[in-house]
Structure 1
């Protein structure tokens, strides 16, 4: 009888498999002595992290995978801080928020195929919000790139193609010596106005192979500035000086450019009222006499903007939300300052100024003659009175009370992150961010943004509490990150408004079709689930929300506050 043959299986993705770049040297020291399994001192993975440190990175987010093990092994030898999340998409949201808060590039490390594809929704949000995230993924071995199907685990026909329509630029490395330059190019691309996410792919064998080049000490990657053309500033200043009713609409580009002071200087010099888009919240002081705040879904505000004889739009493409669902039709002269060339005049004819918001606003403020203080503050106050009267006539006291409780409990300098939920929609219009950043996923509109994003912000500044607000539907997208919050002890308070389903979709469908479908959800006991992760949690009521949130926000480490409540949106006025 023939004896069965013994089969020795080799993991082709192990560093010590016959297919590994280390296989021929696995039993030799660098000096050639036999029977040593010493790992090479530096690999392509080390070169990646050296390059990131030279570019200025201090923290990386991500999640390991088999093709990326050479990169993650190198983390042991790097001074960079690694923060690991439980789902790649959530790691992308955390990197997004870290980049927004710090104003710099934040690296995101993931593996090939499924791991890489899981980041796409987060990268779409980063693209919409101009957050400079540097995505770095592994790839199948270099010999398998460039067409055909080699049958590698996680292989895609063209992984790059999945990202080209989402990120600003895609870079592929084929040899270790290309790593520093590729990362520097990607870093520069991420920062140059308009900022945004970029993608770098490095094959598994390149990450594992000896680096072959000296350690990276410095990498220049300064972005090119985007100043306005002088003749455009002169024309814009002349139009503003001649205007009888100038108005300014400030978008997210003002916030990203840190152009708050320049905007205020220009508005006060022109005596021009200022409205902020949802993405531009905080660009102008909420309580300033010239502030129109952010009631962009209110027809009174839309009419006010339309009636300006010169409307200056800064850092906004006047997209769906900023134009009250494209019902905004300016009657006067429109001036648009925009860093994203593709958004310039994409929705309305204007004097288009392709420039960074800070540089353009400074130039305008220096150039305009200005005017004495007139009736602009009275007109702004009258508009807000009309808006508030309309809201007060809709029996929405609970919703206003809940939002006020959140505002009063949150420290003035504490950042907040809002999911696509009814309370978040209220916050777009009615929440005063005061001294802190206000962020939501309204750029791309995906669910599950708030909590992982808040974790990223807390990593950037652990000395301040951070608030995340989600509905129960959105919370389930990122519930696994309670483990991340507990593991790193991050000071994030997560407010979950539990209304039993996708509340805003329930409203939309009921209003449109008479009843809702697929909106009702079975959900866990969020407080008990949080406690199972070791995260303190409490169920609250609208009347106790302020006190419970205050306690949570002033207690070190993560916490969860669950508010069972069915909230309603204020009636739309864009129809």
Structure 2
């Protein structure tokens, strides 16, 4: 067989890959020989986005919704520069993504001869956007390269991995490995002595606080058991939303940047932080460096470097988040501590007063409507007003049902294609994309792919006539508004041109009716006139 055919077999048979995202190019046609006949023949479904950035965002959404790596086939040069933004978002949020690309022939690498799609060093360009970037120089090394990638996805801190294959290797003959199995990786267990110290500190704590990040999403039962037995108020970050279930009495949500939660954090005598970076986009979205801890800090992360960033730990454990949650929960048994945790959490939520906060009140009926009409939906957000509000207001019934681009890298254009990836990965669940009239223009063309694949994504487009968030920053800094009051197209006409159903609404009742009347197949774009909506909810 050829190297390209071996790649498809290993992805399908050894690693269980069922979907890849990519745009065929002259340098990658041999990959498609291995995919010939589609999913029925190869067992792998190929999705063709309209831009490589869309491919990366789709792979990201697929990975977050399923827990399995999103896989992309990308051409040399412009394909890789196009997907770089999506890789940056996935790297910032520790999302497993495998990017297989072509690169120039081995005998021309780095020679600057003006070859088609040539970069001075594609591998060096991508290295800073990935956990590692590898150039395959021998087809017999392919199994090992893939094993390294999946070892990162399953045993370390996940993120994008890039493997580039010179175009003269795709059709090179290669023997099928006589024996090749997927490596079986056991979770990194916490050190027993460190675990005992952590347990001892938590046992005597009077005002404990738990911080749970996206690294915990694989073990919701253990997370819930631990916070309940500790009777501790708990911050669940944006990527951990739904970890404790919907409206859990100990869950303070992703509100660590707000004054009431910050006061609780400063007052805590022991803080347990598991699988969280303690980074700016979860703990300091007001950008004043105001999140501080005065009590003992216990940190758990699979990445030792992360344990030295942002907050100094009194006890740092390099360990798998899920294994640590289970071990700590077992240590405390089933008899809850009595620390008034539920009452403390309730008092903080009352102080937050989110549903009465003028900054959030216009969005409360939006998310009430979505919960009433699509209670099981995965919500996928762009960097936009509705997403920022959802970070504070929304509670989800399970993890992996809420994620967006406002964390980490903070790109625009993420919402629509990532929602499509989530729909492909979890076809039994409804998916809602939260987008704005500015950000949607980055990847609006992916509506064509959504129609082509019949993906039933509900695209909720909040139309507020430009870049509202940047307008507010300009106004607060006394900077003239330039470049933010942009002209929007006719979204209804554009959607119709793609063959996508579309509705324009201005109040919660019309939104509910549009959702209930959505087509059985294919996407629906619902454009919300923000001005009309705000007027209707203030009446």
TM range (shorter): over 0.9
1:265-304 paired onto structure 2 within 5 Å: 265-304=225-264
Match of residue 222, structure 1, among 150, 171, 184: 184
Give, in angstroms, the shift of residue 504 of structure 1: 1.0
Tell me which residue corresponds to 2:439.
474
Please say if residues 91 and 159 of structure 2, whose CA atoms lie closer than 8 Å, have aligned partners that are also in contact. yes
Give, in angstroms, the shift of residue 509 of structure 1: 1.3
Please say if residues 60 and 108 of structure 1, whose CA atoms lie closer than 8 Å, have aligned partners that are also in contact. yes
| Structure 1 position 57 matched with structure 2 position 20 | no
- Alpha-carbon distance between aligned partners in 2 of 1:509 and 1:117, rounded to the nearest angstrom: 30
> Judging changes above 3 Å, is the alpha-carbon distance between structure 1 residues 296 and 192 closer, same or farther for their aligned structure 2 residues?
same
> Judging changes above 3 Å, is the alpha-carbon distance between structure 1 residues 301 and 567 closer, same or farther for their aligned structure 2 residues?
farther
Please say if residues 422 and 567 of structure 1, whose CA atoms lie closer than 8 Å, have aligned partners that are also in contact. no
- Alpha-carbon distance between aligned partners in 1 of 2:519 and 2:328, rounded to the nearest angstrom: 42
| Structure 1 position 164 matched with structure 2 position 127 | yes
Tell me which residue corresponds to 2:163.
200
| Structure 1 position 263 matched with structure 2 position 226 | no
> Judging changes above 3 Å, is the alpha-carbon distance between structure 1 residues 331 and 484 closer, same or farther for their aligned structure 2 residues?
same
> Judging changes above 3 Å, is the alpha-carbon distance between structure 1 residues 43 and 342 closer, same or farther for their aligned structure 2 residues?
same
> Judging changes above 3 Å, is the alpha-carbon distance between structure 1 residues 404 and 149 closer, same or farther for their aligned structure 2 residues?
same
Report the 3-state secondary structure (helix = DSSP H, G, I; strand = E; otherwise coil) of the residue aligned with 2:527. Answer: strand
Tell me which residue corresponds to 2:393.
430
Please say if residues 402 and 545 of structure 1, whose CA atoms lie closer than 8 Å, have aligned partners that are also in contact. no
Please say if residues 505 and 511 of structure 2, whose CA atoms lie closer than 8 Å, have aligned partners that are also in contact. no
Give, in angstroms, the shift of residue 432 of structure 1: 1.3
Higher CA-based Rg: 1
Q: CA RMSD in A?
A: 2.1
Please say if residues 254 and 282 of structure 2, whose CA atoms lie closer than 8 Å, have aligned partners that are also in contact. no
The alignment of Structure 1 onto Structure 2 pairs a total of residues equal to 522
- Alpha-carbon distance between aligned partners in 1 of 2:517 and 2:127, rounded to the nearest angstrom: 42
When normalised by structure 2's length, the TM-score is 0.92
- Alpha-carbon distance between aligned partners in 2 of 1:319 and 1:494, rounded to the nearest angstrom: 29
Report the 3-state secondary structure (helix = DSSP H, G, I; strand = E; otherwise coil) of the residue aligned with 1:458. Answer: helix
Give, in angstroms, the shift of residue 549 of structure 1: 4.5
Deviations 1:171-228 (A, max 9, x none): 111232222222222222233221111000001111133x231378743233452221
Tell me which residue corresponds to 1:67.
27
Tell me which residue corresponds to 2:210.
248
| Structure 1 position 328 matched with structure 2 position 291 | yes
Which of 431-440 and 476-485 deviates more? 431-440
- Alpha-carbon distance between aligned partners in 2 of 1:526 and 1:568, rounded to the nearest angstrom: 17
Unaligned ranges ≥5, structure 2: 535-539
Give, in angstroms, the shift of residue 393 of structure 1: 5.2
| Structure 1 position 232 matched with structure 2 position 194 | yes
- Alpha-carbon distance between aligned partners in 1 of 2:438 and 2:179, rounded to the nearest angstrom: 47
Deviations 1:255-304 (A, max 9, x none): 2xx12111111111111111211222112234222222222231111111
| Structure 1 position 456 matched with structure 2 position 415 | no
Tell me which residue corresponds to 2:303.
340
- Alpha-carbon distance between aligned partners in 1 of 2:274 and 2:311, rounded to the nearest angstrom: 14
> Judging changes above 3 Å, is the alpha-carbon distance between structure 1 residues 378 and 520 closer, same or farther for their aligned structure 2 residues?
same
Match of residue 109, structure 1, among 44, 56, 73: 73
- Alpha-carbon distance between aligned partners in 2 of 1:529 and 1:216, rounded to the nearest angstrom: 53
- Alpha-carbon distance between aligned partners in 2 of 1:218 and 1:552, rounded to the nearest angstrom: 50
Report the 3-state secondary structure (helix = DSSP H, G, I; strand = E; otherwise coil) of the residue aligned with 1:208. Answer: coil
Which of 176-185 and 455-464 deviates more? 176-185
Structure 1 stretches of 4+ with a deviation exceeding 4 A read 215-218, 566-569
- Alpha-carbon distance between aligned partners in 2 of 1:84 and 1:216, rounded to the nearest angstrom: 33
Tell me which residue corresponds to 2:451.
486
Please say if residues 207 and 339 of structure 2, whose CA atoms lie closer than 8 Å, have aligned partners that are also in contact. no
- Alpha-carbon distance between aligned partners in 1 of 2:129 and 2:420, rounded to the nearest angstrom: 23
Match of residue 112, structure 2, among 149, 161, 165: 149
Give, in angstroms, the shift of residue 568 of structure 1: 12
| Structure 1 position 187 matched with structure 2 position 138 | no
Report the 3-state secondary structure (helix = DSSP H, G, I; strand = E; otherwise coil) of the residue aligned with 2:36. Answer: helix
- Alpha-carbon distance between aligned partners in 2 of 1:557 and 1:415, rounded to the nearest angstrom: 16
| Structure 1 position 90 matched with structure 2 position 54 | yes
Please say if residues 252 and 279 of structure 1, whose CA atoms lie closer than 8 Å, have aligned partners that are also in contact. yes
- Alpha-carbon distance between aligned partners in 2 of 1:219 and 1:509, rounded to the nearest angstrom: 56
Please say if residues 506 and 533 of structure 2, whose CA atoms lie closer than 8 Å, have aligned partners that are also in contact. no
> Judging changes above 3 Å, is the alpha-carbon distance between structure 1 residues 107 and 314 closer, same or farther for their aligned structure 2 residues?
same
> Judging changes above 3 Å, is the alpha-carbon distance between structure 1 residues 393 and 159 closer, same or farther for their aligned structure 2 residues?
closer
When normalised by structure 1's length, the TM-score is 0.87
Which of 190-199 and 417-426 deviates more? 190-199
1:32-51 paired onto structure 2 within 5 Å: 42-51=1-10
- Alpha-carbon distance between aligned partners in 2 of 1:284 and 1:565, rounded to the nearest angstrom: 32
- Alpha-carbon distance between aligned partners in 2 of 1:559 and 1:240, rounded to the nearest angstrom: 49
Give, in angstroms, the shift of residue 428 of structure 1: 0.6
Please say if residues 266 and 293 of structure 2, whose CA atoms lie closer than 8 Å, have aligned partners that are also in contact. yes
- Alpha-carbon distance between aligned partners in 2 of 1:84 and 1:433, rounded to the nearest angstrom: 31
Give, in angstroms, the shift of residue 328 of structure 1: 1.0
Give, in angstroms, the shift of residue 486 of structure 1: 0.7
